[in-house]
Amino acid sequence: MEDRDVVIIGGGPAGYVAAIRVSQLGGKATLIENDAIGGTCLNRGCIPARALVRGVEFIELARNARDYGVSYPETEVDLAKMMARKATVVKTVVSGVKLLLEGNGVELINGTASFLSPSQLEVNLDDGTKREIAARRIIIATGSGSKKATVSGGKVIDTTQALELGEIPRSMLVMGGGFIGLAFATIFSRLGTAVTVIEPSRPILPEIDNEVVSILERELKKSKIRFYNEAPAGLAADYILTTDREANTEGLGLEKAGVELNDKGGIAVNRHMETSAPNIFAAGDVTMERMWTHVAFAEGMVAAQNALGRDSEIDYSVVPCFAHTFPEVAGVGITEEAAKRQGYQLKIGRFPLAANANATILGQRTGMIKLISEAKYGQILGVHIIGPQASGLIAEAALAMKLDATPEDIGLTMHGHPTLSEALWEAARDVSGETIHFISPNR
């Protein structure tokens, strides 16, 4: 039986970050991965999907270039080259993570781990041999996988398969209008696929403010994406894309370790990322809670810190979310609707991107920034954005909320000109009716 300090099972965002953090704190990290370093996000999720979104962005850029005095020949899509570029991006990012692990002295074992007891693991190596490892602390970060679905009306594929298609489908039915589903709907609709999205909850994206979502849905419909609460009778498509996920716990032997599951089928953890078993932690999608890569990063760090004796607690109060659509949407905190349900008295600031100079320069004037604040003390409860680069712009709002900044604080902070970030500055000033480049209705 080999002895190890901290063993991390799974080399995705939660796992590799946990391994790096263990090393930073002076511990010795052993990372066990049975597939590719980087997990779903880097290999089969957000990185390749965003690379394809970037590819289809050029279709729109070429189409609008004439407005800037630049003419291109007829735009042609070479799907094989687009997929090859995506693969290059993935390879580059994954290689960078491998170098980070090596540079931090993380031991990497290629194999599949399962529990023999709460402190012992059996590892089936890729070469067919086995190793037994005793660990003082174990972090489970095995992530999630596509949930099998039985749907009729076309060839059923998951998101991994969608990222490897060798043809542009004539039609696609996307089961789920969440952040993942809408990103794929965006990609394929821009490639010319007739896309239909089935989403039972209306409006779509309940985490994003209704006012923002209504603009998004209107714009997506312009791209000929159709929305239904349920699949109409007789509806068929070349491909049916399923987006549901489930925790990767099969074969781990959690019962031998005394690790319990939550009501979502993921590993149950507390705010310290501790499981029901002493000295065993879990982080990332395997918990089936707040399934975002940036959340997995944070959870991996908290798990690593507590594995080395720190007293760290995860803070979910400020979690940005976003969809790589055209235009992008992003949000942090609660919506106006949720704030009213919770009994808050509100002051709301808005700023349309049509009044922002840089949005006009970019030719992307559709959108707005909406800031929701508590009326008496100025606490920022939520910020929701639709427009270009929304996924990046939301970071300033998240930082402001984390630091308990008020709309006045943002409004007194100089923002570069011309930039899209000025729109957040203006939305913050609009809370008190003091926008500069727009006649505020709050005056």
**CA–CA dist 199, 204 (Å, integer):** 7
Averaged pLDDT for residues 207-236: 90
pLDDT of residue 321: 96
CA separation, residue 412 to residues 407, 426, 429, 439 (Å): 9, 10, 9, 19
* Average confidence score pLDDT of the chain: 94
| DSSP H or E segment with residue 254 | helix 254-257
Tens of pLDDT, residues 239-296: 999 999 999 999 999 999 999 999 999 999 999 999 999 999 999 999 999 999 999 9
pLDDT band at 20 (very low <50, low <70, confident <90, very high): very high
Is 272 a known active-site residue? no
Average pLDDT on 301-308 reads 98
Q: Is 375 left (phi over 0), alpha (psi -120 to 50) or beta?
A: alpha
Q: What is the pLDDT of residues 95-123, one digit of tens each?
A: 999 999 999 999 999 999 999 999 999 99
Options 324, 384, 417, 437, the catalytic residue: 417
Contact at 8 Å (CB) between 17 and 37?
Answer: no
pLDDT top residue among 295 and 152: 295
- Residue 40's nearest CA partner among 246, 195, 188 is 246
**Which of 357, 251, 232 is closest to 9 using CA atoms?**
251
**Residues ≥6 apart with Cβ < 8 Å to 79:** 165, 166, 167, 168, 191
Task: Give rounded-to-5 percent helix, strand, coil for the chain.
Answer: 35, 25, 40
Predicted local distance difference test score (pLDDT) of residue 405: 98
Residues 139-155 have a mean pLDDT of 86
Name the band, by pLDDT with cuts 50, 70 and 90, for residue 154: confident
Structural domains for the chain = 2-146+246-307 (3.50.50.60), 155-242 (3.50.50.60), 327-430 (3.30.390.30)
The residue with greater pLDDT, 150 or 291, is 291
Task: Report the distance separating Cα 338 and Cα 343, nearest Å.
Answer: 9
Cβ-based neighbours of 137, under 8 Å, separated by 6 or more:
5, 6, 7, 279, 280, 281, 307, 308
How confident is the model over 230-239, as a mean pLDDT? 83
d(CA 273, CA 301): 10
Q: What is the pLDDT of residue 255?
A: 96
Q: Residues near 174 by Cβ (< 8 Å), separated by ≥ 6?
A: 181, 184, 185, 195, 196, 197, 198, 241, 243
What's the pLDDT band for 127 if we cut at 50, 70, 90?
confident
Does residue 80 contact residue 166 with C-beta atoms inside 8 Å?
A: yes
Q: Residue 212: its pLDDT value, please?
A: 97
Q: How far is CA 233 from the centre of its chain?
A: 32
Q: Is the dihedral of CA 312, 316, 317, 320 positive or negative?
A: positive
- 327 preceded by cis ω (within 30°)? yes
Question: What percent of the chain clears pLDDT 70, i.e. is strictly above it?
Answer: 100
Digit-coded pLDDT (tens) for 386-414: 999 999 999 999 999 999 999 999 999 99
- CA distance linking residue 334 with residue 256, whole number of Å: 40
> Looking at the predicted structure, is the pLDDT value of residue 181 above 80?
yes
417 has a pLDDT exceeding 80: yes
Count CB neighbours of 200 within 10 A: 10
pLDDT at 298 over 90: yes
Max intra-chain CA distance, the chain: 73
Residue 357: its pLDDT value, please?
Answer: 97
DSSP secondary structure, 274-312, as one string? B-SSTTEEE-GGGG-SS--HHHHHHHHHHHHHHHTT---
Query: C-alpha distances in angstroms, 242 versus 59, 171, 184?
Result: 26, 14, 11
- Summarised one tens digit per residue, pLDDT across range 337-375 is 999 999 999 999 999 999 999 999 999 999 999 999 999
CA distance 123 to 24: 25
Q: Does 202 score more than 80 pLDDT?
A: no
Question: Model confidence over 61-99: pLDDT tens digits?
Answer: 988 888 999 988 888 899 999 999 999 999 999 999 999
